[in-house]
Amino acid sequence: MDEAEQVSAAAREAVADVEPDGLRAVIDDHVASSSMLPGVLTVLSARVVDGAVDDHAASRRAAGVQLIYDGLRVTRSLVAAEPWTHADADDPTADLDILAADVLVARGFRLLARTEAAEQAVETVRAFGREQTDQHADRTPTDRGLEANVFELAAIAGGSTSGSEAPVPLRQYLVGLADNHGEPPLPDSGDALPEGVEDVMARVGTQTGDDRVGTPSVGDR
């Protein structure tokens, strides 16, 4: 199973118990249509910082990052399209989409709670709200874009899986990758990452022996 499949499987598992079935189907569609790049970068960050990292912990964190991104991505598209303006009163699609977005973010938070990435996950959502407010008030946003913030979240969530602090150079490198992708939507992870990206991430994300803590977070168990 490659990293994208690993992330997709973990994300689907995290929302498998959502009810009713119609809402879960909408959520599944949003996850299936999304680039797995945020989750993949989380897995790679875990691997390059500590090659012996637990796969289950890395997958949970990757799913958390992916679900938060998917929820905010859906919210952004709804805000831009304003589907309620021309919606049929008998068509619940727009309402289900916004509910799905809320569930996606909430499930992502659940997976990252009690980990080193929890605080950054909250800040990612706050920054998204500030950015959207600025845009709709015709002000120049003072926050980075969603993708840059989510990529940094991926570095923190993945890079701290072994219990150590995610290296700042790794965080900076992933933010740079987001900036290089330009306007959304994100491409598929297989098409988006430059050749040798894992080697570069390993160079900037290498921890010294003194930096490794090696104690998994309670939230990963």
Residue 74 confidence (pLDDT)? 96
Residue 39 CA: distances (Å) to CA of 45, 77, 84, 145, 221: 10, 20, 31, 17, 19
Which tens digits make up the pLDDT trace of 202-216? 999 886 555 554 556
Residue 109 confidence (pLDDT)? 98
Residue 3 has, within 13 A of its CA and on its CB side, a CA count of 23
7 in Cβ contact with 63 (< 8 Å): yes
Residue 86 confidence (pLDDT)? 62
- Residue 172: φ, ψ to 5°: -65, -40
pTM of the complete model: 0.91
Q: What is the full per-residue pLDDT of the chain (221 aa) written as tens digits?
A: 599 999 999 999 999 999 999 999 999 999 999 999 999 999 999 999 987 788 999 999 999 999 999 999 999 999 887 765 565 656 567 789 999 999 999 999 999 999 999 999 999 999 999 999 999 899 998 889 999 999 999 999 999 998 888 999 999 999 999 999 888 899 999 898 999 999 999 999 886 555 554 556 767 87
Which tens digits make up the pLDDT trace of 100-117? 999 999 999 999 999 999
DSSP 195: T
Residue 50 confidence (pLDDT)? 80
Question: What distance in Å separates the CA atoms of residue 144 and residue 129, rounded to the nearest whole number?
Answer: 11
Burial tier of 209 (Cβ tally within 10 Å: 0-12, 13-18, 19+): exposed
Q: Which two tokens stand for residue 20?
A: 């009713």
Domains and CATH numbers, the chain: 3-84+91-209 (1.10.600.10)
